[in-house]
């Protein structure tokens, strides 16, 4: 069987886009605060201030996870959540600390 590579590639790319897994191309300004980065990169899914976008489902404000765990989550993403490999550890910790109570 012959594989149609352009079609195959297009299919895989759309699969990635649809499922959301993959990398975010978000690039913050170097002076951005944790709050600003969250508003720009995360609130689309996690809601304003982390209150959750889809009911309480994606609420992460006041998370009980330690900041370094949240920072790792930002780095690695999830099944649906994109990974933010371009953020520095400092930036990821800043976002994490913004979410902490």
Give whichever of 8 and 14 is closer to ligand HEC, judged by the CB atom.
14
* Ramachandran angles phi, psi of 6, nearest 5°: -60, -40
64 in Cβ contact with 101 (< 8 Å): no
When binding is defined by CB under 6 A, the residue of 28, 41, 47, 94 that contacts ligand HEC is: 41
**Other CB atoms within 10 Å distance of the CB of residue 91:** 20
When binding is defined by CB under 6 A, the residue of 10, 80, 85, 86 that contacts ligand HEC is: 80
Number of residues in contact with ligand HEC under rule CB under 6 A: 19
Residues 6+ apart with CB under 8 A from 94: 33, 34, 37
28 in Cβ contact with 41 (< 8 Å): yes
Cβ burial, residue 70 (10 Å; 0-12/13-18/19+): buried
Give whichever of 6 and 44 is closer to ligand HEC, judged by the CB atom.
44
When binding is defined by CB under 6 A, the residue of 20, 39, 51, 52 that contacts ligand HEC is: 20
Only one of the segments 5-13, 28-36, 75-83 lies at the binding site for ligand HEC (rule: CB under 6 A); that segment is 75-83
Q: Report which residue's Cβ sits closest to ligand HEC.
A: 78
Residue 18 lies near ligand HEC (rule: CB under 6 A): no
């Amino acid at each position: 069987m012959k594989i149609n590579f352009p079609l195959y590639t297009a299919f895989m790319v759309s699969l990635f886009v649809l499922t959301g897994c993959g990398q975010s191309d978000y690039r913050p300004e170097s002076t951005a605060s944790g709050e600003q980065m969250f508003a720009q990169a995360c609130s689309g899914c996690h809601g304003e201030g982390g209150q959750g976008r889809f009911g309480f489902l994606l609420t992460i404000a006041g998370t009980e996870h330690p900041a370094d765990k949240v920072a790792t989550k930002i780095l690695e993403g999830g099944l649906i959540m994109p990974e933010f490999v371009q953020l520095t550890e400092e930036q990821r910790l800043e976002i994490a600390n913004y979410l902490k109570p």
